[in-house]
Structure 1
């Protein structure tokens, strides 16, 4: 059992019943996380990143949501078999989550001290005095000065960046093994974003927590992630380390994301290249590759059959027919230039 993953999500399917029909939001996602590792999940809005994270935390409201299939294994235990009461004992203690907007995640009627100490009193059975002492240490760790006075204040008395630091402190105060950060820098200006990213790196060095970073910001990914998963239309289309994804991307969607981001080393007159088209309708997902309608390299097989996962170099995998050996045998590089292009 020494090679057991800290977190292992297998074939996760999540849907939502709406007035318009059933939305298939997550369709067969697999992910794993090692102790002390940072995994980034990237993709455009609506691709299923946040739903995947909320499913891991068992925060999907049923109804309208439903986890139709799959396993979510935390240290070998399937969280989908846990009762609501047992999940409440896990959240915050073994696995924590930081949400996008700290102002709506913090309770405006309670002081920061009350909100920080609540988890310690519940999960660690600490006295109020001991919990407050630990809360002071955690505020120091996340870079909030004059911590003793700050514990008496309310969320509206803090700036956006400081509220995000408080959310990080709340998520980490019970020393979880897994931290899920859902777009933690989206609502912040670039200067504060950089400070928060530095804080994540420092916290990981100090505490050894494993992090799942959910973002659409590839700059965040470049700084923090050990591994990257690219999601599209509820599925993982490519996975690899930073070098794989940034320098040898194999899926046309991954390339599209990279071409849509300004580069400091590029000529300022070089235009950004947006990804043409729109994502597929997840009320009725396509039977083949979900990206086929937007892909300049699409073939008949792409629309008719879902692409299998192909291993590029062991840890670098891609779900794209262009990388399948059967397609490579049928075409040459001149006919499929995607096979030899690099970013």
Structure 2
């Protein structure tokens, strides 16, 4: 499949009074045309920082991309200046932010906020931009958009606000859409509607989607491939079937076990004991070792090599080493 976007060995740090926070530590992945890639993990693992790096939205200072490449159409986005990034941001790569109420300007009507992006990136008259706004609101399922153009964000429900934010991101027909926790603040029924909307839009437009989430239920419905992120690193990645039916990393297994399931008799949820490591001074070995039931001495001392399970599935875990497999077999 054709690669639309490729992130290679990305490092991002933030300088604070307490020291340097190493938020993203060597992240690599590719996004193919027309697919949905989900990046999952606990809060603070570096998911949103990775997405903001792609968009060129890391505030400098205190943030800084200290290494790696973000390749889009043969150009390294980390090397571009702000005026060049502004031409790409919103036109070729768009982002849906976590909270639609804070993403929208409460003092501007809906049409003003959407038309602003169209005029910025496309040579259209205001009348043409208005018609395009109506068309995109139809596409995302806003009923009677002609009569709602002059309304303000507070006059819409949470689900409708999220649809407006999606419309703003799609109106310039981007090749890549980054959705950062797009269903977090919504109830289950509206979540399902938004996820169906993503699938319908992808079928119609062919847009490639990066979905940032901690909710594996969301991932199961829409993702083609999944990257599991922990302490600034991608510890496992594979297609949906690999991750849900053949997980190899203990952290991935822990995430799956902590999801409520109807086919499980136990009423109590199985949580992952402990807390993520301090990224002011991240561990030199496997970052999950302190919370892992299978941790060995080597896990604390050396970061595990990448093990290729198949063409799409890879994992960073010492349990895949043949010596560890023999040891576990003896036990």
Q: Same fold (TM over 0.5)?
A: yes
Please state how far the C-alpha of 1:48 moved relative to its aligned partner: 0.3
Is residue 2:327 matched to residue 1:331? yes
Q: Which runs of 5+ in 1 are unaligned?
A: 336-343
317-326 or 46-55, which deviates more: 317-326
Which of 249, 260, 275 is residue 272 of structure 2 equivalent to? 275
2: CA distance between counterparts of 1:18 and 1:59?
18
Which of 225, 229, 244 is residue 246 of structure 1 equivalent to? 244
Secondary structure, aligned partner of 1:59? coil
Is contact 1:4-1:75 (8 Å) kept?
no
In the TM superposition, 1:43-82 aligns within 5 A as 43-82=41-80
Please state how far the C-alpha of 1:249 moved relative to its aligned partner: 0.4
Q: Which runs of 5+ in 2 are unaligned?
A: none
Alpha-carbon RMSD across the aligned residues, in angstroms, is 1.0
Residues 263 and 135 of structure 1, relative CA distance in 2, 3 Å threshold? same
Secondary structure, aligned partner of 1:331? helix
Please state how far the C-alpha of 1:325 moved relative to its aligned partner: 3.0
2: CA distance between counterparts of 1:156 and 1:100?
17
Instruction: Output the TM-score relative to the length of structure 2.
Output: 0.98
2: CA distance between counterparts of 1:23 and 1:194?
36
31-40 or 319-328, which deviates more: 319-328
1: CA distance between counterparts of 2:238 and 2:330?
26
Which stretches of structure 1, 4 residues or longer, exceed 6 Å deviation after superposition?
none
Is residue 2:134 matched to residue 1:114? no
Cross-structure match for 1:305: 302
Please state how far the C-alpha of 1:257 moved relative to its aligned partner: 0.5
Instruction: Output the TM-score relative to the length of structure 1.
Output: 0.95
Residues 126 and 220 of structure 1, relative CA distance in 2, 3 Å threshold? same
Is residue 2:138 matched to residue 1:144? no
Is contact 1:5-1:75 (8 Å) kept?
no
2: CA distance between counterparts of 1:61 and 1:24?
15
2: CA distance between counterparts of 1:245 and 1:34?
18
227-236 or 73-82, which deviates more: 73-82
Alignment: residue pair count = 331
